[in-house]
Every structure is written in structure tokens, then in C-alpha cells.
Amino acid sequence: MPTTIQVDEPTKERLKSFGLKGDTYQDVINRMYDIAVNQQLRELIMSKKAIPIDEAIRQYKKKWLS
């Protein structure tokens, strides 16, 4: 079911400028969401809190399988 999202004119223009010819606003918003999720994942992976998968598995086994 479609819904309405109200944005001001400058935001509408920014959304339009992000789109490709023939894109709907839904296409643009979905593309922006995908980009944001990928950026968050990159930031998480690059953070100092991230650990390699083999280390995570080792910690899991030590905590839960011992």
C-alpha cells in the first residue's frame, strides 16, 4: 500500500538530483538506503572494535562450548 512522505522543496530537488532518468522516488530512496547500509557496514568493519571472524569463532567456542 503506497504511503505519502512530505518533504520540503529543497529536499525534493536533492532527491531528484540523486536519481537516474526514469527513476521513481521509491527507486531513489531504496538506492540511498542500500548505500547507507553499505557505508555503515564498512564503518563497522573498519572500526577498532571489529575482530577477525576466526577470533570471533574462537571466543564463541570458549564462552559457549566449554
CA–CA dist 17, 28 (Å, integer): 9
Residue 36, all three cell numbers: 547507507
Give the per-residue pLDDT at 65: 94
DSSP one-letter code for 6: -
CA–CA dist 3, 61 (Å, integer): 46
Does this model's pTM top 0.75? My answer is no
Asked if 7 contacts 15 with a C-beta cutoff of 8 angstroms, the reply is yes
- Tens of pLDDT along the chain (66 residues) come to 889 999 999 999 999 999 999 999 999 999 999 999 999 999 988 998 889 999 999 999 999 998
